[in-house]
Amino acid sequence: MVVRLHQRRRADFRCGDRLGRGDHVVLWRKPEKIPGWMSREEYEAMPEWLAIREVRVRVADKAKRVRRLVIATTLLDARTYPAQELGGLYRQRWHAELDLRSLKSHMHMDMLRTKSPEMVRREVAAHLLASNLIRGIMAEAARGEGIKPRQLSFKGSLHTVREFEASHLYDPERIARDLPRLVSLIGKKRVGDRPDRYEPRAVKRRPKPHPLLRMPRRKAKALIKRGIILYEKSK
């Protein structure tokens, strides 16, 4: 576990077993009150005390909102896991946000088409399966190019696979023959090196001045056919 220390906790580096400057191991006691998301059986199975390592990480980039933060981790060995490397490992959590964006934007999972809970689970599972398959091809292509998979563009790889699928549909022999070419093409889809990139959390394009459809489309079309005006035009 490598997470940021919760804002309700305060790290006092004068206490605990000191491993270095801004680096120590402390004991966290199990809360007396059972959290609402935990059953009594799970609570009873937890140990009374938990050894946690707290590390102060300094962010030198002026563009960052937070200059210093404290990381809590269960990786207690300072020799095996230096404090500087833990800071870099925590920084990689941003890739989780990027992967979710790829699923929602590039693979169009932001709006699910199914209605029932069971079909929604299947639809999400299908998106995750397709994403993992693309990531697997990217990893193979990166290994052939001698680079890291994160240096390849997911969007570019996805478009390449879709074009390959459209041109090789229902032709297993051609797919097997041209698959090395597909891996080679994906290996060329490099993403730019943009460390510490930050953008405003806002959209520039304005939405269309149309009201929201708040009924099934079939019902709305039937009302329009009867000459009933559903919504007034925006001024």
Tokens 């030198």 correspond to 60
In whole angstroms, give the CA distance from residue 11 to residue 26.
9
Span 159-185, average pLDDT: 91
In terms of domains, do 142 and 179 share one? yes
Region of poorest pLDDT, from 93-102, 114-123, 183-192, 202-211: 202-211
Asked if residue 219 is part of any domain, the answer here is no
Of 95, 77, 96, 99, which is closest to residue 86 (Cα–Cα)? Answer: 77
In whole angstroms, give the CA distance from residue 235 to residue 217.
24
Asked if residue 191 is part of any domain, the answer here is no
Share of the chain above pLDDT 90, in %: 54
In terms of domains, do 66 and 144 share one? no
pLDDT for res 43: 94
Domain interval for residue 124: 113-186
Rounded to whole angstroms, what are the CA distances from 140 to 108, 144, 182, 184?
A: 25, 6, 11, 9
Tokens of 121: 């689970």
In terms of domains, do 46 and 6 share one? yes
Does the pLDDT at position 73 exceed 90?
Answer: yes
Tokens of 78: 């300072």
- Sign of the CA dihedral running 106, 107, 108, 110: negative
In terms of domains, do 148 and 75 share one? no
Asked if residue 135 is part of any domain, the answer here is yes
Asked if residue 205 is part of any domain, the answer here is no
Contacts of 115 (CB under 8 A, 6+ apart): none
Tokens 């809970």 correspond to 117
Count: domains in the chain: 2
Span 108-118, average pLDDT: 90
Asked if residue 198 is part of any domain, the answer here is no
Q: Beta partners for 72? A: 3, 54
The pTM of the whole model exceeds 0.75: no
In terms of domains, do 12 and 71 share one? yes
Does the pLDDT at position 235 exceed 50?
Answer: no
Q: Beta partners for 4? A: 71
Span 110-114, average pLDDT: 88
Q: What is the band of 194 on the pLDDT scale with cuts at 50, 70, 90?
A: low
Asked if residue 217 is part of any domain, the answer here is no
Q: What is the band of 232 on the pLDDT scale with cuts at 50, 70, 90?
A: low
Asked if residue 103 is part of any domain, the answer here is no
Does the pLDDT at position 60 exceed 90?
Answer: no
